[in-house]
Amino acid sequence: MAHPNFLTTLPLAPKDPILGITEAFQADTNPAKINLGVGVYGDEDGKLPLLHSVSLAEDQLNALKTARGYQPIDGMVRYTRQVQQLVFGADCPALIQRRLVTAQSLGGTGALKLGADLLRSFSPQSEVWISNPSWENHRALFEAAGFTVRAYPYYQAERHGLDFEGLVQTIDQAPSGTILVLHACCHNPTGIDLDDGQWHQVRQIILRRGLIPFLDLAYQGFSQGTQEDARQVREFTELGIPVLVANSFSKSFSLYGERVGALSIVCTSSDEALRVQSQLKRVIRTNYSSPPTFGASLVATVLEEVTLHELWEKELGAMRQRIKAMRAALVTALKQTLPTHSFDYIAEQRGMFSYSGLSSEQVQRLRQEFSIYAVDSGRICIAALNHKNLERVVEAMTQVMR
Ligand code: LMR
């Protein structure tokens, strides 16, 4: 009898819309190639930095020569404690009242998946609503967890701005129990965030309609500062309803490959928190058992020690300022080469990215004619620009946008 090889009919999966670009970039032999696809910060020399604060913490940890036992299922306690203080603030009522559950995760993506699997297990009828557009992996991730995913309006292409009216009208019709995915700061891909009043309105709708907010905080520190960028998360914790928060240190600590993140769930009582924690541990145990040690040790060490913490804040501030400077330089240069276009919207966007206004055809041309790689949606990574590659990027963008 022939072996029933199920692999013979397995179709080829499409390339990942973001990480697939890195694969194509790496295969490109043009020495002048530039990768503006993935959200990774490069310094003025285009290099991925090893932060000094991280390097000092690494020296400390290496000197300790610690053996590597298993961690608790939900991660390193000293790490999750630091996450709670950084994201929610040391005086957060939910933290003091022991109703904040935090589990170490494999980056921000891992945190989203833990939250998705947990929600799916106790709210299988819920739909997940993400912004249109959203991070390319949101839809795929929540669909992979078994949810139906819909999109609420967010971006108004003609104005290159926020479609707040569309957003409000749509989420105000969401069925009770809908999981609403929101970007806590530095919206990916558009770089357009809600203002305080708009956030307030969204929270009122969430309360009125009985929605479950799931905040994605992958860029804390890249808009205004670590405290300012956590402000909306902290406002949500005051609502008295369950709130999920996925955070990441990939960008803020330049620790992409270590996969350091966390999922936090604000509960309404300490008893509820115990039950949530127990279920979350089951999700983790049946996925990967327990998380790795090294990256979380680095982050915990930096955040715990006052001098390292201050140094890290300074280094993060320098990354933030450099991105802002490159954003301004890009806008100035484009205004000179394409004076009939307005690029003011790029100047107003926040975080690592710009939703540049490039069409997918223009993105293809950038890649084919100039070996410059961007996401098909037109998203470019401003954090990958520097004074050495800016001119070439501006020249190429000018050619394809003219
Ligand atoms: C991005 O949006 O480029 C980053 O969040 C990296 C990733 O995993 O997609």
Q: What value does the mean pLDDT take over residues 133-142? A: 97
Cα–Cα distance measured from residue 99 to residue 272, given in angstroms and rounded to the nearest whole number = 7
Q: Does residue 1 register a pLDDT over 90?
A: no
Rounded (5°) CA angle 304-309-313: 150
238 — pLDDT class (breaks 50, 70, 90): very high
50 — pLDDT class (breaks 50, 70, 90): very high
What DSSP string runs through 163-192?
-HHHHHHHHTTPPTT-EEEEESSS-TTT--
Nearest CA to ligand 1 atom 9: 18
Q: Is 381 in the pocket of ligand 1 (CB under 6 A)?
A: no
Tens of pLDDT, residue by residue over 314-344, are 999 999 999 999 999 999 999 999 999 989 9
pLDDT at 167: 98
Which residues lie below 8 Å from residue 64, measured CB to CB, with a gap of 6+? none
What does the DSSP 8-state code read for residue 334?
H
85 backbone dihedrals φ, ψ, rounded to 5°: -70, -40
Q: Does residue 2 register a pLDDT over 90?
A: no
CA of 187 relative to ligand 1 center, distance in Å: 12
Q: What value does the mean pLDDT take over residues 44-55? A: 97
Q: Does residue 377 register a pLDDT over 90?
A: yes
Cα–Cα distance measured from residue 129 to residue 178, given in angstroms and rounded to the nearest whole number = 7
CA of 8 relative to ligand 1 center, distance in Å: 32
Q: Is 188 in the pocket of ligand 1 (CB under 6 A)?
A: yes
Q: How many CB atoms lie within 10 A of CB 279?
A: 16
Enumerate the active-site residues: 135, 216, 251
pLDDT at 3: 85
Q: Does residue 313 register a pLDDT over 80?
A: yes
Cα–Cα distance measured from residue 91 to residue 30, given in angstroms and rounded to the nearest whole number = 52
